[in-house]
Structure 1
Amino acid sequence: MTKSLADTSEREYFANVRRRLPMFVIGGRLDRLEAFLDGYDQHALRHGGPGLRDWTDWLIAKRGQTCNHGWSGHVRHIALPDGWDHWDLPQEQERLVIDVLFDLLDEYLAEREAGLAR
């Protein structure tokens, strides 16, 4: 029997989103994924969940420096350490950033579950 998404941990939920990205995010595009995550965070916070609390701080600590781009910029800096020219990335860079975003999100949530998140 398959678990309902409502009965999964946040890590399981986001692993499911990753596997079925176009089902959750129209076109599976990075900018829409970022909006989805912002919406997820705001909904969780409004309803008593942890959302992505401290996600930006965790990314800053992971990267070792800050920037003015918010959490999405930190993910891009980590995924594309040589920089990028435009927010609208070429397809191969966008795919890389999406993969790195999900890897980072899973690492963050694993640390948070273990009580290790910064």
Structure 2
Amino acid sequence: MDALARAVAAKLLANVVNLTPVGLGTFDENGRRVTQGGTLRRGWSVEKISSGRYSVINPVPYALYVEEGHRQTPGRYVPAIGRQLKTSWVPGKHMLNDAIAQTKKEVPQICRELSIFTGGRR
């Protein structure tokens, strides 16, 4: 059972990483790149909670806002992106929710593959 849970967690991790958007990074006042994008994508990991239980997490502080969406103040200038905000609500990307739905569809295939590799043993 632990092998199945581990395989499903690994598949979920791969799916959520692929669905996570990558930003451009931040730029200084001259337009030169200060930081590289991809922090959110690199933040995903799997933690083992107990035998047969795993958790896919992202400790990046703004992960929840990208997943669920967030409010902002229209007209406010943001130096990091070099422009003013236009809308009051930014919709979420739902990368984790979409990855969970995608992974649920792939569980039967994971089970079949595990049964081949383990010779039918659990």
TM-score interval for Structure 1 and Structure 2 normalised by the shorter chain: under 0.3
Question: Which structure carries more helix by proportion?
Answer: 1
- TM-score, length of structure 2 as denominator length: 0.24
Q: Looking at CA atoms only, which structure, 1 or 2, has the larger radius of gyration?
A: 2
Calculate the TM-score normalised by the size of structure 1.
Answer: 0.24
